[in-house]
């Protein structure tokens, strides 16, 4: 549409513009306020461009040939403005996050790191590997002879294994996740089993209790789940990985999850729980970006966008029901 508006601007400014053209323009403009506004935008820009006449002497150098119209070498057109996604910015910001440096660990001893509900924590190990703990999580780090071992006891964490001669091993829900070389892998415990997402490098997943056929080798961009039903993996997009790791920026990124799933997600981060009192709204699908520790602004968003109302339960929980 801006293209069409721009064409009208150019055409109407042409001294040889015909009356028929002017009438056609009036008809086009009268079609909608959108046309009208778009035309004004382009017309104003067109008029503002006249200001460059003030620069005429300055322009003459690159365009000295212009009135003579001799050919020039083709410059590289730079017509696309690079716009970085908010995600890229968010990830860059996370790099600036304050690090909590743990003391170096001696042979055989183990150290536990834990987070409370709503808390996040970054631990840098003696070998420069990093562990980012999400809300309500716990790991035990144990550097044994020849192996770096971390056990995920509770919750969710991102492991960024630094290159080292010793293998980096994460134990979670009866599985051993071994990284060779440097790797970045997120592990989240589920009620049954765990979910593993590989962001960088590659890992071998060996569910101890499962059949040998459930061993998996996962490379970057693959997510897997293992539980009592066995193990399965799938390829995931970078965007999906970023969304699942939104917690690193203190956010929850929803992309079509149900209200029930969204509420469960918020409940991981907050003492103030969200309860869905009405099954008929549990399946509403949402997308969006929210702060983990702000269940109320999430609830406000839901109630203003859906026919849902919120009330406070006797226990202080937020109860969601269908607005009558």
Partner 1 sequence: MMAQDDEDRRAWFRREILPLEPDLLAYARRFCRDGQTDPEDLVHETFARAIACKTWREIGNPAAFATRVLRNCALDALRRRKVLTITAVADFERIEPIDEAPGAQSIIESREELQALADAIAELPTQCRRVFTLRKVYSLSPDEIAVRLGLSVSTVEKHLVKGLRYCSEKLGRRNERKSKADERRSWSGIRDHDAKR
CB-wise, 162 or 236, nearer to partner 1? Answer: 236
Cβ-based nearer residue to partner 1, 227 or 242: 242
Residue 243 makes CB contacts below 8 A (sequence gap 6+) with 253, 255
Q: How far apart are CA 198 and CA 216, in angstroms?
A: 12
The verdict on 79 binding partner 1 (CB under 8 A) reads yes
| Shortest reach from residue 213's CB to partner 1, in Å | 37
Interaction of residue 23 with partner 1, rule CB under 8 A: no
User: Tokens for 81?
Assistant: 């403005």
- Would you count residue 272 as binding partner 1 (CB under 8 A)? no
Instruction: Tell me the window of 43-51, 144-152, 166-174, 191-199 that interacts with partner 1 (CB under 8 A).
Output: 43-51
Closest separation between CB of residue 174 and partner 1, Å? Answer: 33
Report, in Å, the least distance between residue 218 CB and partner 1.
26
Site for partner 1 in 280-309 (CB under 8 A): 284-291, 293-294, 297-298, 300-302, 304-306
> If you search the block for the tokens 């192996």, which residue do you land on?
147
Question: Per CB under 8 A, does 57 bind partner 1?
Answer: no
In 46-70, which positions are buried (b, 16+ CB within 10 angstroms) versus exposed (e)? eeeeeeeeeeeeeeeeeeeeeeeee
CB of 313 to partner 1, least distance (A): 22
313 contacts partner 1 (rule: CB under 8 A): no
Segment near partner 1 (CB under 8 A), from 28-36, 130-138, 202-210, 219-227?
Answer: 28-36
In the numeric block, the tokens 């209790």 are attached to 209
Rounded to an integer, what distance in angstroms lies between the CA atom of residue 126 and that of residue 102? 7
Rounded CA separation 228/208 (Å): 11
DSSP state of 2: H
Among 23, 27, 64, 93, indicate the residue that binds partner 1 (CB under 8 A).
93
Beta-ladder partners of 39: none
């Amino acid at each position: 549409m801006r293209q069409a508006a721009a064409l009208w601007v150019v055409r109407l400014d042409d001294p040889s513009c015909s009356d028929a053209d002017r009438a056609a323009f009036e008809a086009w403009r009268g079609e909608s306020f959108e046309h009208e506004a778009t035309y004004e935008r382009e017309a104003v820009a067109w008029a503002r461009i006249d200001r460059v006449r003030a620069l005429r002497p300055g322009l003459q150098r690159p365009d000295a040939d212009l009135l003579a119209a001799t050919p020039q070498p083709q410059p590289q057109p730079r017509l696309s403005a690079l716009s970085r996604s908010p995600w890229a910015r968010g990830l860059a910001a996370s790099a600036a996050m304050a690090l909590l440096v743990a003391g170096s660990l001696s042979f055989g001893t183990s150290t536990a790191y834990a987070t409370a509900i709503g808390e996040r924590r970054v631990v840098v190990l003696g070998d420069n590997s990093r562990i980012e703990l999400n809300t309500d999580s716990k790991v035990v780090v144990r550097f044994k002879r020849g192996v770096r071992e971390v056990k995920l006891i509770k919750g969710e964490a991102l492991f960024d294994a630094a290159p080292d001669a010793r293998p980096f091993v994460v134990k979670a829900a009866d599985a051993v996740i071994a990284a060779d070389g440097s790797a970045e892998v997120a592990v989240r415990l589920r009620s049954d089993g765990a979910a593993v997402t590989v962001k960088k490098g590659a890992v071998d997943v060996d569910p101890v209790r499962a059949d040998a056929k459930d061993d998996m080798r996962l490379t970057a961009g693959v997510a897997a789940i293992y539980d009592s039903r066995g193990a399965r993996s799938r390829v995931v997009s970078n965007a999906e990985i970023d969304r699942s790791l939104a917690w690193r920026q203190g956010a929850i990124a929803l992309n079509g999850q149900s209200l029930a799933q969204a509420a469960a997600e918020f409940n991981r981060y907050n003492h103030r729980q969200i309860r869905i009192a009405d099954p008929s709204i549990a399946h509403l699908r949402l997308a969006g970006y929210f702060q983990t520790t702000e269940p109320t602004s999430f609830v406000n968003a839901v109630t203003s966008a859906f026919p849902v109302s919120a009330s406070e339960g006797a226990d202080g929980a937020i109860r969601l029901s269908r607005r009558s």
